[in-house]
């Protein structure tokens, strides 16, 4: 069974991401379930700010809840959730997961290649992509989001001069935004300037934390670039 793990950011702060993800999954004709109230925070922020024991309690609960639901594959559109569940849980709990964990851009690439999703002919637009630290430098996922974007008719992919393994951090992760707001804001403003230099009209990323911080930077700078999380961008292109 496919289970969509929404994550805290998409559930509480940016529900438009969860709504867009669900719309895309349904559009592809996928049957999936959600944990609902049984979904706890993945524990990423707890682990990375030193509250490891608390994070382990969250991990244990989520793994048991996913097993009870019969999950064979878990998809999440949150880079932090993806890294935490797929890489940290096995190490912290000392056991292999009984289900596969896949990040949304990777699943989207599969759906496009399997003709489960066909993008319509749309208006031409230039798009640039921000590599989240959690799925980029931490997990080595660089090509899947780009291949998915490039499969969209009329879209021109434009790279920022700092990209992939050398991408500038948005400033939100690792507890930075929670403990040093000004540093986080400065990093985001730098990244927005780098995105604007490409001439792209749309900036997208596959991480709600990045989206939240970068979107605030766009609003502060009065930039004309449109900041959308990956599922939001895909849902818009599909006119869902």
Q: What pLDDT digit, counting tens, does each position of 68-111 carry? A: 999 999 999 999 999 999 999 999 999 999 999 999 999 999 99
Calpha distance 35→76 (Å, rounded)? 12
Say what the pLDDT of residue 222 is: 81
125 neighbors 202 (Cβ within 8 angstroms): yes
Assess if CATH 3.40.50.1860 describes domain 2-109: yes
Say what the pLDDT of residue 131 is: 97
- CATH node for 119-237: 3.40.50.1860
Calpha distance 55→162 (Å, rounded)? 32
Tokens of 132: 């989240």
Same CATH topology for 2-109 and 119-237: the answer is yes
CA nearest neighbour of 167 among 48, 53, 79: 79
Average pLDDT of the chain, as a whole number: 95
Q: What pLDDT digit, counting tens, does each position of 24-58 carry? A: 999 999 999 999 999 999 999 899 889 999 999 99
Grade residue 200 by pLDDT with cuts at 50, 70 and 90: very high
Residue ranges per domain, the chain? 2-109, 119-237
Kindly state the average pLDDT of the residues 140-160: 94
Say what the pLDDT of residue 70 is: 98
Calpha distance 94→141 (Å, rounded)? 24
CA nearest neighbour of 178 among 28, 45, 25, 50: 45
Say what the pLDDT of residue 177 is: 78
DSSP alpha helices (H): ranges in the chain? 8, 15-27, 44-48, 52-69, 79-83, 89-93, 104-113, 143-150, 176-179, 181-197, 208-221, 230-237
Kindly state the average pLDDT of the residues 169-178: 81
Say what the pLDDT of residue 121 is: 87
218 neighbors 194 (Cβ within 8 angstroms): no
In our burial notation (b when 16+ CB lie closer than 10 A, e otherwise), range 217-227 reads bbeeeebebbb
Calpha distance 238→77 (Å, rounded)? 17
Kindly state the average pLDDT of the residues 149-168: 94
82 neighbors 101 (Cβ within 8 angstroms): yes
Backbone φ and ψ of 180, nearest 5°: -145, 80
User: Of 103-107, 178-182, 208-212, 217-221, where does mean pLDDT reach its minimum?
Assistant: 178-182
Grade residue 180 by pLDDT with cuts at 50, 70 and 90: confident
């Amino acid at each position: 069974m496919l289970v969509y793990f929404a994550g805290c950011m998409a559930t509480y702060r940016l529900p438009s991401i969860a709504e867009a993800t669900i719309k895309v999954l349904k559009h592809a004709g996928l049957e999936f379930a959600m944990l609902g109230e049984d979904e706890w925070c993945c524990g990423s922020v707890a682990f990375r700010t030193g509250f490891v024991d608390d994070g382990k309690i969250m991990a244990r609960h989520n793994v048991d809840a996913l097993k009870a639901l019969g999950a064979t594959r878990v998809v999440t559109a949150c880079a932090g959730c993806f890294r935490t569940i797929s890489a940290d849980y096995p190490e912290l709990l000392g056991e292999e997961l009984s289900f596969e964990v896949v990040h949304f851009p990777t699943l989207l690439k599969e759906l496009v290649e399997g003709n489960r999703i066909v993008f319509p002919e749309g208006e031409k637009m230039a798009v640039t992509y921000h590599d989240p630290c959690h799925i980029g430098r931490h997990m080595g996922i660089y090509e899947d989001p780009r291949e998915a974007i490039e499969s969209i008719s009329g879209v021109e992919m434009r790279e920022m001069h700092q990209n992939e393994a050398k991408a500038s951090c948005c400033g939100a992760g690792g507890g930075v935004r929670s403990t040093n707001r000004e540093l986080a804001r400065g990093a985001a403003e730098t990244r927005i300037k780098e995105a604007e230099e490409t001439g792209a009209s749309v900036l997208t990323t596959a991480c709600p934390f990045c989206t939240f911080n970068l979107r605030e930077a766009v609003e502060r700078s009065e930039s004309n670039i449109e900041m959308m999380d990956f599922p939001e961008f895909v849902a818009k292109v599909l006119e869902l």
